[in-house]
Amino acid sequence: MATYKQLKVWQMAVSLMAEVHDLTKDKVKKLKHKDEFGLISEIRDCANNIHTSIAKGAENKNRLRFLSYLRIANSASIELDTKLRIAKDVGEIANRNLRKILDKIEEFQKMLTLLRRPLEMAFDGEYGRRWK
């Protein structure tokens, strides 16, 4: 198994995290107290959880655990997409570059599915059940 730094999906997740931080940095600068963070903090946490989960799973060296971490990364990407859309709707973030980030999340999810599929198929055969 490749190290996490060699995985294109991890590299994309790091790039996505940087774009999310750039999108939200103006809002963070305007906040006077950490308690005001709220949704912006949650968005940044989601973006950080994606690449972290992939790295933890890849370094685990166990295919089943790697698959589990990839699912966590996918869940975090879904949460990120949802929270970004909510933040836009409630006026927490501007529309600036949001479409680009949402498109990147979708592309990331497709790449992640391609990485997960062979692992899931291998476990279907080993354990006689479907991973959905």
Q: Which CATH class is domain 4-25+36-127?
A: mainly alpha
| Domain spans, the chain | 4-25+36-127
Asked if 108 and 13 count as a contact pair (C-beta separation under 8 A), the reply is yes
Output the 3-class SS for 32-61: CCHHHCCHHHHHHHHHHHHHHHHHHHHHHC
Identity of residue 128: G
Identity of residue 117: R
How many other CB atoms sit within 10 Å of the CB of residue 91? 7
Question: 51 pLDDT exceeds 60?
Answer: yes
- Total count of residues recorded for the chain: 132
φ/ψ region of 107 (left if φ > 0, alpha if ψ in -120 to 50, else beta) reads alpha
**Higher-scoring residue by pLDDT: 111, 1:** 111
**Higher-scoring residue by pLDDT: 127, 88:** 88
Q: 62-96 pLDDT, tens per residue?
A: 888 999 999 999 999 999 999 999 999 988 887 77
Question: What is the DSSP secondary structure assignment for residue 37, as one 8-state letter?
Answer: -
Residue 59 φ/ψ, nearest 5 degrees: -80, -10
Q: 21-43 pLDDT, tens per residue?
A: 999 887 777 666 554 558 998 99
**pLDDT, position 38:** 85
**pLDDT, position 31:** 65
Q: 7-25 pLDDT, tens per residue?
A: 999 999 999 999 999 998 8
